[in-house]
Structure 1
């Protein structure tokens, strides 16, 4: 006689959890920094201390992705050059908040995001998140190879607000609103299929259908050189914080020769060195002008933009802005 017993389906995936309620109030911030370093990546966090500070993180895999839910008090999160250097593994992250506006910065871009908007960041480069009221965020970890199959040029999207209020962005936002670690742990459809749905919606929401580089079999026409120059500047915005960054490194990143890189910049009367300095000092000026970064010394701001020598940074400030870092702050 045949058995009528139905084999059970796959067991739900366990959800990893961290919560500051597990430790005394005085230890919560240190615990939270350790939790996000373990659950995400090496990052720094600043927050108002006290018994009111709370935060939690839940995470579960969804096919090749990981769905993370962060809840907690107001805080500022920084992915620093040191943290980037210490990380063995790197990922893209797609973030969405549904409750209150927040701010973020990466790649020389700053974004103010409304509830439902989304943001793509790359952990290989510095970024910062400012959560003025709550840190409640859905953050999806995206492996680089997976994302780059959907977005051929993802760097063009880093640090940009993805509008969650209309068009395909609204569809993507609605899809993300349904995701949670609980859904990832016991998905209604195969995890890989749901991940592909996210990838397709992200590609539609960003309009990212650009082809890869065409190579260098023939000299690029002037419009092609102009486009390449824009891409060089975009890469500099991404990588300006790396000490000792060279034209050769950027050229290799873009898949062109160093000679072509210099030629595309020269067409507009620019040099690689000056473009790099301009990028670094523009970011430094924003940090010096923002009271939120007054806790950082001038030397630390110099290091954050790739200028490890404090005296060199001061000289560049004088050359670019006619004042030292301290004088620029006092003039605000």
Structure 2
């Protein structure tokens, strides 16, 4: 991918340079932000350094206000994942752009804001969790009507086609589909800039994402059997653990609630966790106790009583919380806080003395 400041020569209708296909997605992780450019250069920089070479499309500014855009991305196996945010624009892919492309499809998922994708006879407002499969064979438009965020997934040639053995057509996918719930949960648990640099783990993550999107789009036969055997169970387990980490502070959190959120049954939630070291209750308890420990040892929460911390981390009985905490960490909540406070005061006093002698 071109770096900020590189200026590729756009071809007719805003494609890549004449006779050149769009380059491969950049390896590893990257960030592109228009904040790095003077205000009057931001739109041109985004268009020429990112949109033209990467999406093989053009872009039209739709706002009189200062333009802004930010992209965070990572290459994960056979798919490149980008989290994008920008002010009002329209992305345009023409017939000329289509002819110059590598032929690989893209997939988009709404995160927030107001934007719509149109391709062929398919048009869909991209509400949070809604998906849109965009084969490269037809011109397409994406109208960003307000400051918006979305996820863009660009597949390597042949990756999705092997899993969906039929002609790919423009397709919108409801956020309520079980497979789309899993896609959203899986992507929500992944922060591109904090992802591991381990190529093997990124490869597995990308494979699971491709599997889930193939399930949402609709697959069958050998491909369905392959997906069921490798990625679906892992993705569902990850979705369960992600839901627990998001909602553990709710006192009444149950397997039924988690199951409803990710689109499976409560029985499946328990069965998925059978292959982890802990039961559903143990996972919830560990999240609560770890959060309580962090709060007790942080000066930020020094004004909170132990009972308040217990309540904020999902416990309804402070005596029960004290017993569980001592069993887990070998000390009571009060003693952990006292030790941390003493250490903090000692270090602060030593620092003050050092500064006074200088």
Range of TM-score over shorter length: 0.5 to 0.7
Which residue is equivalent to 2:228?
Answer: none
Which residue is equivalent to 1:96?
Answer: 109
Which residue is equivalent to 2:179?
Answer: 168
Summarize the alignment of residues 114-263 of structure 1 with structure 2, pairs less than 5 Å apart. Answer: 114-156=127-169, 158=170, 160-184=171-195, 186=197, 190-209=201-220
Which residue is equivalent to 1:233?
Answer: none
Normalised by the length of structure 1, the TM-score is: 0.53
Mark the structure with the bigger radius of gyration. Answer: 2
Conservation of the 8 A alpha-carbon contact between 1:62 and 1:185: no
Conservation of the 8 A alpha-carbon contact between 2:78 and 2:207: no
Structure 1 residue aligned with 2:126, among 113, 122, 130?
113
Conservation of the 8 A alpha-carbon contact between 1:67 and 1:140: yes
Which residue is equivalent to 1:79?
Answer: 93
Query: What is the deviation of 1:21?
Result: 1.7
Distance 1:43 1:193 in 2: 29
Query: What is the deviation of 1:121?
Result: 0.9
- CA RMSD after TM alignment: 2.7
Structure 2 residue aligned with 1:21, among 35, 42, 48?
35
Query: What is the deviation of 1:90?
Result: 3.6
Question: How many residues align structurally?
Answer: 197
Q: Deviations over 1:132-168 (max 9, x none)?
A: 1124111111123110111112524x2x221123422
Q: Deviations over 1:228-277 (max 9, x none)?
A: xxxxxxxxxxxxxxxxxxxxxxxxxxxxxxxxxxxxxxxxxxxxxxxxxx
Structure 2 residue aligned with 1:57, among 71, 88, 92?
71
Distance 1:49 1:98 in 2: 21
Conservation of the 8 A alpha-carbon contact between 2:79 and 2:210: no
Q: Deviations over 1:186-222 (max 9, x none)?
A: 369722222221122122222332799xxxxxxxxxx
Q: Which has the higher contact order (CA 8 A, sep 6+)?
A: 1
Distance 1:129 1:96 in 2: 12
Conservation of the 8 A alpha-carbon contact between 2:105 and 2:133: yes
Distance 1:106 1:43 in 2: 13
- Change over 3 Å in CA distance of 1:105–1:185 after alignment to 2: farther
Uncovered stretches (5+) of structure 1, i.e. residues with no partner? 1-12, 213-332
Query: What is the deviation of 1:82?
Result: 2.3
2:145 aligns to what SS in structure 1? strand
Distance 2:194 2:81 in 1: 9
Summarize the alignment of residues 245-284 of structure 1 with structure 2, pairs less than 5 Å apart. Answer: none
Structure 1 residue aligned with 2:59, among 25, 36, 45?
45
Moved segments of 4+, more than 6 Å: none
Uncovered stretches (5+) of structure 2, i.e. residues with no partner? 1-26, 224-358
Distance 2:110 2:28 in 1: 24
Normalised by the length of structure 2, the TM-score is: 0.49
Conservation of the 8 A alpha-carbon contact between 1:33 and 1:43: no
- Change over 3 Å in CA distance of 1:141–1:181 after alignment to 2: same
Query: What is the deviation of 1:37?
Result: 3.3
